[in-house]
């Protein structure tokens, strides 16, 4: 059966692909999520998307967490064969205010879940490469891991707050 695109995935991809996006950053890294999920039946990622709307910079922070539904099972072959729940939170920061939207939905199995992750990853890196090309710079190395960030100042990401 072909993997479907879940409504939350579509919402995140549309946010990333907006023409007024001026910055992106990862905080929990998409490429590592499958390895974590295969071991624990849980994973997640967080990204920031900075847009400029009518001359005002507005930060959208996305947090996605997924958890396989093990029920009462203590043993099973693979977390990938289980259905589960996705918890999604979108925090919008404009000025000194936050607006939060939360959604919860289910997925059929690990393959459907990671199809969603792959769709978000593809949109993120397409926009990331576009913004990096405009800025004329390469990725910044932070503490031995590539931290993907472009167009967002540290204070806009609320780092160290």
Encode pLDDT of 88-124 as tens digits: 999 998 778 899 999 999 999 999 999 999 999 999 9
Does residue 140 have a pLDDT over 70?
no
Encode pLDDT of 31-89 as tens digits: 678 888 998 999 999 999 999 988 989 999 999 999 999 988 888 899 999 999 999 99
pTM of the full structure: 0.84
Label residue 143 by pLDDT band (50, 70, 90). Answer: very low
pLDDT of the residue at 30: 57
pLDDT of the residue at 145: 44
Give one DSSP letter per residue of the chain, joined into a string: -PPPPPHHHHHHHHHHH-TTEEEEEEEE-GGGHHHHHHHHSEEEEEEEEEEEETTEEEEEEEEEEEEE--TT-S--S-GGGS-EEEEEEEEEEETTEEEEEEEEEEESSHHHHHHHHHHHHHHHHHHHHHHHHHHT--PEEETTEEE-EES--TTTTTTT-
Q: If phi over 0 gives left and psi between -120 and 50 gives alpha, with beta otherwise, what is residue 15?
A: alpha
| Sheet with strand 21-28: strands edge to edge | 97-107, 84-94, 56-68, 42-53, 21-28, 149-150
For residues 149 and 61, which has the higher predicted lDDT (pLDDT)?
Answer: 61
Question: What residues does each domain of the chain span?
Answer: 7-135
Residue 140 contacts residue 149 (beta carbons within 8 Å): yes
Q: What is the mean pLDDT of the chain?
A: 85
Encode pLDDT of 4-13 as tens digits: 888 999 999 9
């Amino acid at each position: 059966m072909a993997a479907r695109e879940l409504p939350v995935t579509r919402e995140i991809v549309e946010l990333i692909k907006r023409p007024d996006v001026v910055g992106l950053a990862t905080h929990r890294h998409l490429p590592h999520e499958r390895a974590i999920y295969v071991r624990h039946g849980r994973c997640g990622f967080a990204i920031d998307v900075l847009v400029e709307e009518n001359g005002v910079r507005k930060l959208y922070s996305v947090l996605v967490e997924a958890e396989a539904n093990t029920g009462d099972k203590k043993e099973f072959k693979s977390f990938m064969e289980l259905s589960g729940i996705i918890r999604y939170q979108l925090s919008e920061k404009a000025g000194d205010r936050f607006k939060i939207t939360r959604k919860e939905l289910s997925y059929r199995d690990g393959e459907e879940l990671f199809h969603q992750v792959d769709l978000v990853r593809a949109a993120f890196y397409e926009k990331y490469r576009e913004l990096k090309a405009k800025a004329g710079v390469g990725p910044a190395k932070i503490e031995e891991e590539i931290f993907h960030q472009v167009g967002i100042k540290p204070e806009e990401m609320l780092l160290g707050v």
